Structure 1
């Protein structure tokens, strides 16, 4: 299984990026290969101009095309996924996610943004052909507290929800701690 993770955060140090990394860690040993697409690292002008012929953009789109599992992470801003993620998703063909399993991951300041996964991100993933969309995982800032190392510490309930969402993908039971 080829796993591709897409980080839609414009920030280098972000809770959604860290949640994505946690999900990747929890899936270690599940896939044959794993690749991260940090959309913020793609060239801005070709991304803004929807230039799918740009070598870096084309490479990222090919990674998505070849993926079996996509982990899509985004911060939620004003009840919607990031504009950066939108730019990238707009480059995918109409059925670019057909036949893929997709796990949406999101972070936001409060539970007021929880439904953005169901009402903003999931419809776009579905419009791109995804039919196997796993239960999304939303984390509030309070569930990912900053750690002195520069990362974040997830609360137990978040780790449990993430493991439950990942369970259909794992051939072995997932450990129930952030380890």
Structure 2
């Protein structure tokens, strides 16, 4: 397994729309394993393939359990996700591995129903709410070239752009 490079905003690949996965083979399994190692190494709770430069409709979610630990047996590998239902509204303070050290409240659906495939191509349905629903929405946005900062009101977006420019100058 390998730790992959996570692309940072404003990398242009992050704006690319991901393609459907058709081959559920050992290459896919290796990518999923590498993405998991990368997500854990970077202290993430979700990761989309596009964030590591792969434009495939693949994402991982592994929010911490009640004991505040991410258990690998609770990892969900989601391939070719399609929302079947979105209900309610919730505000959630989000961050992103591709937008490090910036957190802001985002409006999301509180409950979702999702159709997807697992690593073997088997079709599944998942119902999620609260944090799990938010993480899935956040990562699915990545597959469509959308970052959480795109969902911010204009004043908060300007604040983000200003902080980004300041950080880029400092790390120059």
TM-score when scaled to structure 2? 0.31
TM-score when scaled to structure 1? 0.30
